[in-house]
Chain A
Amino acid sequence: MKQPALSDRPKLRRPARLKYDPARETELLLLPERVVRLNPSAGAILRLCDGERSVAAIIERLERNYPGSDLKGDVLEFLATAADKGWLEPWTSVTLTP
C-alpha cells in the first residue's frame, strides 16, 4: 500500500486493539487469531493512530518526545507497512475534498 498523506487520520483496523502488557513490559497488538509483540517505536506510533490525529499531528507529537529527530520518513514508512499487514484501516486520502 502506498504511504498515507499527511492529512490522513490513521486508525487501527477493527477489531484490532493495543494492550500494554505489564508481564512482558511491551505493547501488544491484539488481532483475531494472533498477537503481535511490538517494538517500542511501533507501539508509540500505533498508540497515536486513534482516527482523530492526522499523520502530521502524529509526527509532530513523536518529534516532541524525541527532540531534534526527523521522524517523518520513518513514520510514513511504518504506517504503510502496518496498513499492508492489515493493522490499519485503508487510507481515505484518495477521496478529493474541496
Chain B
Amino acid sequence: MVGAMDIGYPYALTAELTHRCPLRCVYCSNPLELERREAELTTDEWLDVLDQAGRLGVAQVHFTGGEPLARADLEPLIRKAREAGLFVNLITSGVGLTAKRAQQLADAGVDSVQLSVQASVPELSDFIAGTRAFERKRQAAVWIREAGIPLHMNAVLHRLNLQLVEELAEMCASWGAERLELANAQYYGWALRNRSLLLPSREELREAEEALRRAKERFGHRMELIWVIPDYHEEYPKPCMGGWGRWSMTVSPDGRVLPCTAASEIRTLQFENVKRRDLAWIWRESPSFNAFRGSDWMPEPCRSCERKELDFGGCRCQAYLLAGDAGQTDPVCHRSPHHRLVAETVSGAPKQAAGGFTWRTTGENL
C-alpha cells in the first residue's frame, strides 16, 4: 500500500447514471447484474457527487450508462458539472434523442457528445445492438451537429464488424464526426459471456489494422482516429486505467465508487458508496482504492519486472475474471502463469464451436 502522500488527484469521473438502456449490445461491458432503477442515485445525490468531484480536482466528467438520456435530470446534472468547472462529455447510443433534447443538452453546456454505432451496415448494426437503432443514430448525429455540439463517435470492434473498419470511418466522417474511437472489445460483463463469438483471430485483426491505416490516410485530416488495442492479442497487458486509483474513478448507478468501470465484478473487494462516505475519503483512504495502488501489492512475475511502472500489472478485473484473483498478474501478459487461459482462447478463435449470442438485458424489466 502506498502512503497518503503519494496519492494524487483524480482527473476524470465516469458517472454511470443508469444501467437502463434501449440497446442490448452483445459486447456490453456493463456487469451481468444490472442495477435496478429504484437503486439509482437521486438527482440531489448526483448533484452532490459532481460538487465533490470538482473540489477533489476532477477536471472531466463522462456521463454514461446504460443510456444516460434515460435520466430526465441529465440537463441539470450537466449544468452542475459545468458550474464545478468540469469538461462534460456525454456518451450515448443516441436512442431517445430528439432535436429539442439535443438543443437542451447544448444549452446546459455539454462540451462533446460521443455517439456509439455498431456497424456501417444498418442491418448488422441493429443485429449487434439487438434492436432497431441504426436509423435513429443517423438522425441523432444530425441533431447533435445542428445543436452545435462537437460530434464524436465510437464503435466497439469484434468479429462481426472488424472487417468494416474502413467503411465505419467513411460513414462517421460523412456524418460529420470530428473524432472516431475504434475500440476493440474488452472482455468484461456481457462481452465476456459472448467472448467465443466476438474474439477475432490474429489474421482478422491484422487485416483490420491495414484498414485502419487506409482510413487514416483518407479521413485522418478531418477526423481524429483513435484505436483502442485488443489486449488479448498483445504480448504485454494494457496499463489499465493508467494504474488503479491513479487518475480516475467511476460512480456506478447505485452510488458505489469504483477504480474502474468493470470493477464491480470483483467480489473480493468492498466498494464504498457516496451515500455513506464522501468522495475525497473514498479516493484517498478506502481499502478498495488503496488495494492495488503502487507496486507493493504485486506478485511475481510483476514484482521483479522492468515493465511494472509501464503497465502496473495490467487489469485487476481481468485477473479476477480469468485467474480468479484480482491480485494476480493480468493473464494477458505472456509472463503470467495463467497466460494459457488467454493464449488458448485466442488461438481457438474463430474455430471454436459456440452457441448463440446472449443479448444484454435492457434493464427496463429488471
A interface residues (Cβ-Cβ under 8 A, vs B): 14-15, 17, 19, 21, 23-24, 28, 30-33, 35, 86
Cα distance A17–B150 in the bound complex, in angstroms: 13
Encoded as 1 (CB less than 8 Å from any A CB) or 0, chain B from 50 to 73 comes to 000001110110000000000000
Q: Which of B55, B179, B226 contacts A23 (CB 8 A)?
A: B55
Interface membership of B112, Cβ < 8 A:
yes
Interface membership of B87, Cβ < 8 A:
yes
Q: Which of A15, A23, A35, A86 contacts B111 (CB 8 A)?
A: A15
Q: Which of B57, B111, B112, B226 contacts A21 (CB 8 A)?
A: B57
Tell me whether chain A's interface is mostly helix, strand or loop, or mixed: loop
* Known A17-B111, A19-B85, A30-B87; contact A35-B11, beta-carbon cutoff 8 A: yes
What is the CB-to-nearest-CB distance from B158 to chain A, in angstroms, rounded to a whole number?
21
What is the CB-to-nearest-CB distance from B225 to chain A, in angstroms, rounded to a whole number?
13
* 11 intermolecular pairs with C-beta atoms under 8 Å apart: A19-B85, A23-B56, A23-B57, A24-B9, A30-B60, A30-B111, A31-B87, A32-B111, A32-B152, A35-B11, A35-B87
Q: A21-B9, A35-B12 are in contact. List 9 more A-B contacts (CB 8 A).
A: A15-B87, A15-B150, A21-B59, A23-B9, A23-B55, A28-B59, A32-B179, A33-B226, A35-B11
Cα distance A31–B12 in the bound complex, in angstroms: 11
Cα distance A17–B85 in the bound complex, in angstroms: 10
**Chain A residue at minimal CB-CB distance from B226:** A33
Cα distance A42–B334 in the bound complex, in angstroms: 41
What is the CB-to-nearest-CB distance from B81 to chain A, in angstroms, rounded to a whole number?
12
Please provide the 9 A-B residue pairs with the shortest distance between their CB atoms, ordered closest to farther. A23-B57, A30-B87, A15-B111, A35-B59, A35-B11, A32-B112, A15-B150, A19-B85, A28-B59
What is the CB-to-nearest-CB distance from A9 to chain B, in angstroms, rounded to a whole number?
21
Interface membership of B89, Cβ < 8 A:
yes
Most chain B CB neighbours (cut-off 10 Å) among A14, A19, A28, A33:
A33
What is the CB-to-nearest-CB distance from B87 to chain A, in angstroms, rounded to a whole number?
4
Cα distance A86–B224 in the bound complex, in angstroms: 10
B181-229 at interface with A (beta carbon < 8 Å) = 181, 224, 226
Cα distance A28–B57 in the bound complex, in angstroms: 10
Which chain A positions have C-beta within 8 A of B87? Answer: 15, 17, 19, 30-32, 35
Cα distance A59–B60 in the bound complex, in angstroms: 30
Which chain A positions have C-beta within 8 A of B12? Answer: 35
**Chain A residue at minimal CB-CB distance from B148:** A14
What is the CB-to-nearest-CB distance from A88 to chain B, in angstroms, rounded to a whole number?
15
